[in-house]
Amino acid sequence: MTKISILEQLKQADAEGYAIPHFNYSDIWDMTAIVRAAEEMHSPVMLAGVPKVTNALTMDTVAAMAHSLADNAKVPVYLHLDHSTDPQICKDACDHHFDTVMIDGSKESLERNIEMTADVVSYAHPRGIFVEGEIGKIKGNTEESQYANGDFLVQVPDAVKLVQSTGVDILAVGIGTAHGFYQGKPEINFQRLAEVNEALSIPLVLHGGTGIPAEDVRKAIKNGINKVNVGTIIKYTYLSSVFETLKRVGPTIHTIDLMLPAVEAIKEEVKRWIAVCMSDGKACLLYTSP
């Protein structure tokens, strides 16, 4: 069984008005929950590892776990490296046959961002791997005050220049969303999103999914978003379940009996997000003839 490429999936999502959901994992348990939820909802899904995880567990181990789940899944599961600021880690993920790698040069100057992104593209493309770049800034809770006057917002000419000079395939755009839990209601600049979408023909990504109301996620999809990234709530759901079980029964429990309720809890959260992204029922597999 082979799957259509992630770029084809994203284009299909664009044509049909839904988004491909991306979920960050920490280990095999939440990875498993994400894949099971996608299967139950018949949705394509992106399994996203951040360098903190791939460094701690090793790229070899993470790739082996993710490939094994993807190869045996009943829906298309794509391996993605998320938010690497280091081109070398992107190249390592390419060598481990990820489908996509993200090089995040958004905190650098535009020139340096272009240089880093072009470097990763030149390594990834000959290997058939797609690259996500970032322009504008995705805020973090602790950084919010640093970005006065909307200077985290993507500038349309910068986005065009990054794409034209690097050949990057997918673009994360700073439109007011933040990683982590929001302190107030997220203020998304839909106007700027629509302008970037008008200027570019590549798939756009909404980062900082946790805490964005469903109606705003859908409005973003309408205005050009093709991929929605969700991380914090997965971790929070996972750890809350483990915490509650341990509080109730103590640490003499078998690890499996601690983890299975966590898998169920994560699955429910993932299914909720798949419904928000409207990707349920959109799994499309290509079967090779026997």
Binding site for ligand 13P (CB under 6 A): 24, 82-83, 179-180, 207-210, 229-232
Name the DSSP class of 126.
G
Residue at token pair 């996203």: 48
CB of 163 to ligand 13P, least distance (A): 19
Would you say 229 or 245 has its CB closer to ligand 13P? 229
CB of 106 to ligand 13P, least distance (A): 12
Those residues whose C-beta lies under 8 Å from the C-beta of residue 66, and which sit 6 or more positions away, are: 31, 47, 49, 77, 79
CB atoms within 10 A of CB 144: 14
Distance CA 36, CA 40 (A): 6
What backbone torsions phi and psi does residue 152 show, to the nearest 5 degrees? -85, -10
Those residues whose C-beta lies under 8 Å from the C-beta of residue 74, and which sit 6 or more positions away, are: 39, 283
CB atoms within 10 A of CB 153: 19
CB of 23 to ligand 13P, least distance (A): 9
Would you say 36 or 83 has its CB closer to ligand 13P? 83
Tell me if 242 sits within 8 A of 263, measured CB to CB. no
Name the DSSP class of 154.
P
Would you say 181 or 243 has its CB closer to ligand 13P? 181
Catalytic residue among 14, 82, 92, 99: 82
CB of 276 to ligand 13P, least distance (A): 12
User: CA nearest 66: which of 41, 39, 98, 94?
Assistant: 98
Would you say 26 or 229 has its CB closer to ligand 13P? 229
Would you say 99 or 245 has its CB closer to ligand 13P? 99
Would you say 105 or 209 has its CB closer to ligand 13P? 209
β-bridge pairing 20-24 and 2-3: unpaired
Asked about 82 being catalytic, the answer comes back as yes
CB of 206 to ligand 13P, least distance (A): 8
Q: Dihedral angle at the C-alpha atoms of 237, 227, 18, 231, nearest 10 degrees?
A: 0
Residue 5 DSSP SS3: coil
CB of 257 to ligand 13P, least distance (A): 28
Please list the active-site residues.
82
